Structure 1
């Protein structure tokens, strides 16, 4: 479980599928309202307080992004008192633990993102995956690292798993969003990165 502060009142938490499975949360059920997810959220808030000094008391807005191959990204924002007052009646009927789950927005992303330390690794992985991902991929440079990102691809399950396995061998899965890369990173190849890397190198 990795977490970072995005602002004074906002944090981002990245959970891999391994993090979820260790807590008994299966991949297919990770966005369902279950007791285990509530326990996990309380654990995350405790860790956020101890590691980042993020105070989870009061009303929170929670955004949950499910991503294939990566896991789950949770963005937690401490909301205003106006939000609290507008939901005051509902809060009075809630248990203390349930206050965390006041406003939850669930989104799913089909974007796959991997980060590489060395450009040579990006070239190597591109040469291996080009038979199944030749028309895909965008390449970014961000914080002195190389980011290879794929949008939704029409692949069979076995091909998809092979793609993830190869990418994982050379790089690490990342929770960096496309919006962050486009705004703060440098776009090296906007599309067909795999094909271009194979052609040029």
Structure 2
């Protein structure tokens, strides 16, 4: 299990299929609101609090999607009590407690808008770009933490995101950093059109 805080009121949690197997949860069972899934959810929230200080003392939304080989990605967002208010601005209204289900299951309704893939080897990055080229995506490239960090964005259908992940996962791995961290601290190589510029400068 890996937790990333991507905003003040939002965290992203990666759960590998090995994590699920150790808990006796199969891939299809994650979408059912059974006791093992509820226990997993509260373990995730405890980990999020311990590692990044993210607590859920109020209403939240939970969205999840699967990656073919990586596992399950869960996005947890705290919902402000009043429009425009942040989590720290006051108490949550009692009637909003209905939005916070303590027996929370995961819903496969969320579609990712981007992903970050890390490549240690430049040739692997080029190979991934060649397989990714047919997809309508926008890409950026940074260098951070000793790796090439490739940001992929796009308005793709869920099945297309799974295809994209399957392709790039053959050459790289899901990054441990977010695009926001890269924009702030990474060394920019190509801020936009990274895939096109790489393929143009380094043809096969």
> Do Structure 1 and Structure 2 share a fold, with TM-score over 0.5?
yes
Q: How does 1:40-189 map to 2 (within 5 A)?
A: 40-56=40-56, 58-69=57-68, 70-82=70-82, 84-88=93-97, 90=98, 98-99=101-102, 101=104, 106-109=109-112, 114-125=117-128, 130=131, 135-136=134-135, 139-142=139-142, 144=144, 145-147=148-150, 149=152, 151=156, 164=166, 167-174=168-175, 186-189=190-193
1:4 corresponds in structure 2 to 4
Give 5+ residue unaligned stretches, structure 1. none
Q: TM-score, normalised by structure 2?
A: 0.62
Q: 1:30 to 1:175 in 2, by over 3 A?
A: farther
Pairwise CA distance, 1:12: 1.9
2: CA distance between counterparts of 1:73 and 1:86?
29
Normalized per residue, the structure richer in helix is 1
2: CA distance between counterparts of 1:193 and 1:25?
43
1: CA distance between counterparts of 2:95 and 2:17?
35
- SS of the residue corresponding to residue 31 of structure 2 reads coil
2: CA distance between counterparts of 1:99 and 1:27?
22
Deviations along 1:134-172, one digit per CA (max 9) or x if unpaired, are: 6236542145333264855989xxxx6xx83x7445310
Q: 1:43 to 1:147 in 2, by over 3 A?
A: same
- SS of the residue corresponding to residue 46 of structure 1 reads helix
- SS of the residue corresponding to residue 49 of structure 1 reads helix
Pairwise CA distance, 1:111: 7.1
Give 5+ residue unaligned stretches, structure 2. 83-91
2: CA distance between counterparts of 1:87 and 1:153?
30
Alignment length (residue pairs)? 183
Which segment drifts farther, 139-148 or 27-36? 139-148
Deviations along 1:52-90, one digit per CA (max 9) or x if unpaired, are: 22223x2231332304323322222333345542234x4
- SS of the residue corresponding to residue 39 of structure 1 reads helix
Q: 1:15 to 1:63 in 2, by over 3 A?
A: same
The answer to whether the 8 Å contact 1:116/1:146 transfers is yes
Q: TM-score, normalised by structure 1?
A: 0.62
